[in-house]
Amino acid sequence: MHIQDKIQLIPGDLLDQQSLTSAVTQSDPDEIYNLAAQSFVATSWSQPVLTGEFTALGVTRMLEAVRQIKPKAKFYQASSSEMFGKVHETPQSETTPFHPRSPYGVGKVYGHWITINYRESYDMFAVSGILFNHESPRRGLEFVTRKISHNVAKIHLKLQDSFILGNLEAKRDWGFSGDYVEAMWMMLQQDKPDDYVIAMGENHSVKEFVKEAFKVIGVSSWEEHVKTSSEFMRPAEVDFLIGDATKAKEVLGWKPKVDFKTLVKMMVEEDISLLKKNSK
Ligand code: F7E
């Protein structure tokens, strides 16, 4: 059975208070996970106001719906390592100061603090999970990991010969979304609401991700297939992120199962089978 057949969708829009209030009324939830946002960092420069409406004020609208209709429900806010931006310390933990570098990051800082504010103002069970980059074969094609796995799969199947990226030197602490979703759930099973960093504690450059992806298809001369262009560079970059998830490991008992190499292999192999299936 497909996951779509096991869930019931109720429409709601972070820009429309009434639709959120009515979605909470209809679903009468025990747990609410706010994963919605304008989440593509690059777009946040071309649509900064819209990004603020969704990513920042949208959190307040969601919290208001919960406060008015189901204040006893547990609420999870998807905060982001992009809040650390131009990092003030390494590795980054729950106590590291924020220095966001994009309208998206700025919006997420607002979402983080409004969640804490509702917890403190109304005694709601509201938590903020500060998740570092988490990836899977379901990632959108605009994000760098999936862009790489999809294009490497195409090269393997001889559907193209090269593709274009932006900054290859940026470093991210990449983990597997499945492991990270488990951490979100664990946060809501605690007796007390609190905020947690979720990360692998190791980082890799975009270039290393590319090399590893080409390794999966047995190609070592990756430079012949990858070009770079300023089109994919950002006005302000987040150069280096690495998280410290000690608190989540100690308090929640969280333990990720998928490491970097396994993640890259999973994504490339899944894209190869998807392309094969779609060509039939
Ligand atoms: O970029 C560099 C780019 O777009 C990663 C979102 O889920 O994680 C994600 O944000 C890095 C950046 O993710 C290309 O400059 C190089 O340094 O995959 P990304 P992100 O910006 O880190 C955080 C935790 C979130 O919260 C966000 O919602 O890769 N890069 N060349 C490129 N990035 C893209 N997209 N495309 C390129 O061609």
Burial (Cβ within 10 Å: 0-12, 13-18, ≥19) of residue 127: buried
Residue 95 Cα to ligand 1 midpoint, Å, equals 24
Phi, psi of 237 (to 5 degrees): -100, 150
Close Cβ partners of 230 (under 8 Å, ≥ 6 residues apart): 166
Which tokens in the block code for residue 125? Answer: 């069970």
What integer pLDDT is reported at residue 60 of this predicted model?
98
Q: Using CA positions, which residue lies closest to atom 2 of ligand 1?
A: 167
Torsion of CA 96, 247, 212, 222, to 10 degrees: -10
What topology does CATH give the domain 1-131?
Answer: Rossmann fold (3.40.50)
Q: What is the three-class DSSP state of 86?
A: coil
β-sheet bridge partners, residue 76 = 33, 127
Q: In testing the pocket of ligand 1, which one of 47, 134, 136, 143 has its CB within 8 Å of the most ligand atoms?
A: 143
pTM of the model: 0.97
What integer pLDDT is reported at residue 109 of this predicted model?
99
Q: Which residues are catalytic?
A: 80, 82, 104
65 confidence band (pLDDT: 50, 70, 90): very high
280 confidence band (pLDDT: 50, 70, 90): confident
Nearest in space to 15 (alpha carbons), one of 75, 59, 48, 73:
59
Q: In testing the pocket of ligand 1, which one of 172, 200, 233, 264 has its CB within 8 Å of the most ligand atoms?
A: 172
What integer pLDDT is reported at residue 3 of this predicted model?
84
Please state, in angstroms and rounded to a whole number, the distance separating the CA atoms of residues 154 and 16: 40
- Our answer on whether the CB atom of 166 is closer than 6 Å to any ligand 1 atom is yes
Residue 220 Cα to ligand 1 midpoint, Å, equals 24
Percent of the chain's residues with pLDDT above 90: 98
Q: What is the chain's mean pLDDT, rounded?
A: 98
User: What is the enclosing helix (H) or strand (E) of 60?
Assistant: helix 58-69
What integer pLDDT is reported at residue 269 of this predicted model?
98
Q: Give the residue-averaged pLDDT of 228-255.
A: 98
What integer pLDDT is reported at residue 264 of this predicted model?
99
Residue 171 Cα to ligand 1 midpoint, Å, equals 10
Q: What is the pLDDT of residues 138-193, one digit of tens each?
A: 999 999 999 999 999 999 999 999 999 999 999 999 999 999 999 999 999 999 99
β-sheet bridge partners, residue 75 = 32, 126
Cis peptide leading into residue 91 (ω within 30°): yes
What integer pLDDT is reported at residue 1 of this predicted model?
82
Nearest in space to 168 (alpha carbons), one of 232, 103, 119:
232
- Our answer on whether the CB atom of 167 is closer than 6 Å to any ligand 1 atom is yes
CB 127 within 8 A of CB 66: no
pLDDT above 90 (res 4)? no
- Our answer on whether the CB atom of 127 is closer than 6 Å to any ligand 1 atom is no
Please state, in angstroms and rounded to a whole number, the distance separating the CA atoms of residues 186 and 251: 10
What integer pLDDT is reported at residue 82 of this predicted model?
98
Q: In testing the pocket of ligand 1, which one of 133, 149, 152, 237 has its CB within 8 Å of the most ligand atoms?
A: 133
Nearest in space to 202 (alpha carbons), one of 238, 174, 170:
174
User: What is the enclosing helix (H) or strand (E) of 33?
Assistant: strand 31-34
Q: What is the pLDDT of residues 15-47, one digit of tens each?
A: 999 999 999 999 999 999 999 999 999 999 999
- Our answer on whether the CB atom of 141 is closer than 6 Å to any ligand 1 atom is no
